Amino acid sequence: MNEGGFATIHQLAPERRLRRLELTITRRLDGLLHGQYLGLLPGAGSELAGSREYRPGEDEVRRMDWAVTARTTVPHVREVDADRELTTWLLVDATPSMDFGTADVEKRELAVAATAAVGFLTAGAGNKLGAHLLGMSGVRRYPARTGRTHLLGLLRTLLAVPRAAAGAQPHALGEALAGVGRSAPRRGLVVVISDFLDGLPENDRDERPEWEADLRRLAVRHQVLAVEVTDPRELELPDVGLITLVDPESGQRREVSTGSRKLREKYKAAATAQRDIVRRSLRRTGAHHLPLRTDRDWVADIVRHVYAQRRLAMAARQPGGAA
């Protein structure tokens, strides 16, 4: 069972679920992570703080300070300080594929927990949080605002999203990503919480997901964190006899015998290939990747991610350190 009785959170009334989530986050995350700005990602921010010489293989060419380079005839890059007021935009996937879970919690509940963690981690004086909720009726947009009341309102909305009937066609993830880009003209943090199963190629492993180009465009302007939510039964089947599999988004049903070792191996290979496509695509876009699973301690996974990003950020500030 996940930490803090998380397996039973979905059985509680919405207000009690919110209180349990907030208590878990404030006790564990605040206890393990310290500092006013608990960055989910490494990054310099956007406030200009001078220039330094370019380090080949470490610095991004898009950060070149061409004016200083021209004056000194030596390549320089811009150095920037972290923004004092951060605007975070969330894109939360609430399509039918998220209404699945065979471990301690459904993927949708884990998405709510990740939303809460992002909200509390980025909370601070002047920091704003906005959200786009991707559901069956399209995308619901919530303007960026400050404060705990605003965050709790977003979480209540997520908990209240109704389940869609099988066979309903969800809104495309790529279109939702493009909408976030239009809503966030100023550089900030964009967090996409999804299983990223929408728009994946069916047969050609070299073909790219439909959402990849839109996510790449977001990552050019913003720091992007992709939170990938998965369930263990999406990765491999147990030997439990005859079962009926249902595609939550198409409504298609198929009876399969999980007693077949050949079938289980074929399923696992296909699932592994599918997740590899997602990982490679996220890497190509330049987004940072945080995988969360319904059968793991999500708080510990977030803490490990934050510490890893802090180490990267500290190394980047050291002379000769990695970017």
**pLDDT, mean over the chain:** 81
Cα–Cα distance for residue pair 173/135, rounded to 1 Å: 10
Name the token pair of 89.
């935009």
Q: Note whether 280 and 131 are same-domain residues.
A: yes
**Is residue 74 located within the same domain as residue 132?**
no
Query: What range defines the domain where residue 289 resides?
Result: 85-301
Averaged over 64-88, what is the pLDDT?
Answer: 77
**CA pair distance 43, 253, nearest whole angstrom:** 45
What pLDDT is attached to residue 62?
72
Average pLDDT, stretch 249-267?
86
Residue 52 CA to residue 204 CA, distance in Å, equals 44
What was the pLDDT predicted at 169? 66
Do 55 and 161 lie in one domain? The reply is: no
Region class of 288: left (phi > 0), else alpha (psi between -120 and 50), else beta: beta
DSSP state string for 81-131: EPPSS-EEEEEEE-SGGGS--SSSS-HHHHHHHHHHHHHHHS--TT-EEEE
Are 244 and 253 spatial neighbours (Cβ–Cβ below 8 Å)?
yes
Dump pLDDT digits (tens) for 157-192. 988 888 766 556 668 999 999 999 999 888 889 999
The pLDDT, as a whole number, for residue 181 is 94
The arithmetic mean of pLDDT across residues 6-16, rounded, is 58
Our count of domains for the chain comes to 2
User: Parallel, antiparallel, or unpaired: how do β-strands 253-257 and 87-93 relate?
Assistant: unpaired
249/278 same-domain check:
yes
Residues 182-187: contacts with CB within 8 Å, 24+ apart?
Answer: 183/89, 183/130, 183/132, 183/141, 184/87, 184/89, 184/130, 184/221, 184/222, 186/87, 187/46, 187/83, 187/221, 187/222, 187/223
pLDDT at 67 over 50: yes
Domain-located, residue 320:
no
Q: Residue 40's pLDDT is what?
A: 63
242 and 98 inside one domain = yes
Residue 265 in this model has a pLDDT that exceeds 80: yes
pTM of the predicted structure, to 2 decimals = 0.79
Look at 1-15, 94-108, 255-269 and tell me which has the smallest mean pLDDT. Answer: 1-15
**Taking Cα atoms as reference points, which of 317, 320, 298, 307 lies closest to residue 24?**
298
Could you write out the DSSP letters of every residue in 54-80?
Answer: --TTTS-GGGB-HHHHHHHSS-EEEEE
pLDDT of residue 249: 67
Note whether residue 7 is domain-resident: no
Q: Could you tell me if 65 and 130 lie in one domain?
A: no
Q: How confident is the model at residue 32 (pLDDT cuts 50, 70, 90)?
A: low
Three-class SS state of 315: helix
Residue at 171: amino acid letter: H
Q: Is the pLDDT of residue 38 over 50?
A: no
**For residue 200, is pLDDT > 80?**
yes
Q: H helices within 122-189, ranges in order?
A: 148-159, 173-183
User: Are residues 95 and 67 part of one domain?
Assistant: no
**Residue 236: CATH number of its domain:** 3.40.50.410
> Is the domain of 171 the same as that of 224?
yes
Q: What is the radius of gyration, based on Cα positions, of the chain?
A: 21
pLDDT of residue 280 exceeding 90: yes
Q: Is 65 inside any structural domain?
A: yes
Look up residue 10 and give its two tokens.
């979905």
Residues 75-84: what's their mean pLDDT?
66
Domain end call among 81, 103, 138: 81
Which of the four pLDDT bands, split at 50, 70 and 90, describes residue 209?
very high
Residues 97 and 63 in one domain: no
Q: What does the pLDDT average to over 244-266?
A: 83
- pLDDT tops 70 at residue 268: yes
Q: Which two tokens stand for residue 223?
A: 């720091």
Pick from 253, 235, 232: nearest CA to 244: 253
Distance CA 281, CA 268 (A): 20
Torsion angle of alpha carbons 256, 260, 266, 267, nearest 10°?
Answer: 40
Sheet of 223-230, strands arranged across:
138-145, 128-135, 87-93, 189-194, 223-230, 288-293
